[in-house]
């Protein structure tokens, strides 16, 4: 069985404002330490992988806090989706495996969405445009079985990890969700005590 998780990266916002928002909205979540301009939320309700729930809370966060928000979903390690909001507006989204649940053909299907320029702009990483573009191209070639070397393939969570690294997001923005923290399945470099828990009343 592959990995399942969701999380939301916030950019250019103070952690105290994030905590205040989550408490006001009566959410149950873990919140990462502030790392430079980034804070990551691990929302419990989002872990059910209902895209409507994820999109709704991501939009609310972006609008209320006036920041860029990047929510990610990884399903069974094979599927990676993201939604990028700026000031409450959806500006980009991506699905690495759009036919995963309802394949209507035996033919491979390319990922949908993914705008490298908008993604880099949202996090002030314009110098990473060529690398982000390359990541999307490799993921597309992998999905369409066009890759000549399996070692160069990128699927699901691997795409997420590469984007996190390239955009200089905190490493705890990948491979970690609410239950990863709650059950203390964290990689050895992270401690559960570093994450603040917010519980709904």
User: What is the distance of C-alpha 134 from the center of its chain?
Assistant: 18
Contact by Cβ (8 Å): 116, 129: yes
List pLDDT tens digits, range 90-111: 999 999 999 987 766 678 899 9
Q: Residue 142 — φ and ψ, nearest 5°?
A: -65, -45
Helices 15-24 and 51-65: crossing angle in degrees, nearest 10, is: 120
Q: What residues does each domain of the chain span?
A: 5-196
Place of tokens 């920041």: 67
Average pLDDT over residues 113-134: 98
Average pLDDT over residues 66-88: 97
Q: Hey, is 175 helix, strand or coil? A: coil
3-state SS of 7-73? EEEEECCCHHHHHHHHHHCCCCEEECCCECCEEEEEECHHHHCCHHHHHHHHHHHHHHHCCEEEEEE
Percent of the chain whose predicted confidence (pLDDT) is above 70: 96
- The pLDDT, as a whole number, for residue 34 is 97
DSSP assigned state of 87: T
Is the pTM for the entire model greater than 0.85? Answer: yes
List pLDDT tens digits, range 34-76: 999 999 999 999 999 999 999 999 999 999 999 999 999 999 9
Average pLDDT over residues 138-156: 86
Residue 116: half-sphere exposure toward Cβ, Cα within 13 Å: 17
Own/partner contacts of 100-103, CB < 8 Å, gap of 24 or more, are 100/75
Paired tokens of 201: 């009343």
- The pLDDT, as a whole number, for residue 45 is 98
Q: For residue 35, is it left (φ>0), alpha (ψ between -120 and 50) or beta?
A: beta
H/E run at residue 118: helix 116-122
- The pLDDT, as a whole number, for residue 104 is 64
């Amino acid at each position: 069985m592959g990995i399942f998780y969701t999380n939301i990266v916030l950019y250019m916002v103070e952690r105290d404002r994030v905590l205040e928002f989550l408490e006001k909205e009566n959410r149950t979540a873990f919140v990462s330490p502030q790392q430079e301009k980034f804070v990551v939320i691990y929302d419990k309700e989002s872990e059910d992988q209902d895209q409507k729930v994820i999109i709704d809370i991501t939009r609310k966060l972006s609008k209320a806090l006036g920041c860029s928000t990047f929510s990610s979903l990884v399903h069974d390690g094979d599927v990676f989706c993201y939604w990028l909001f700026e000031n409450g507006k959806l500006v980009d989204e991506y699905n690495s495996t759009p036919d995963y649940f309802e394949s209507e053909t035996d033919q491979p299907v390319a990922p949908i969405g993914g705008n490298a320029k908008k993604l880099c702009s949202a996090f002030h990483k314009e110098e990473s445009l060529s690398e982000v573009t390359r990541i999307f191209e490799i993921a597309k070639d992998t999905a369409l079985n066009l890759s000549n070397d399996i070692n160069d393939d990128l699927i699901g969570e691997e795409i997420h990890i590469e984007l996190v690294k390239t955009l200089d997001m905190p490493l705890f923005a990948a491979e970690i969700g609410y239950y990863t923290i709650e059950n203390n399945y964290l990689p050895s470099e992270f401690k559960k005590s570093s994450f603040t828990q917010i519980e709904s009343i």
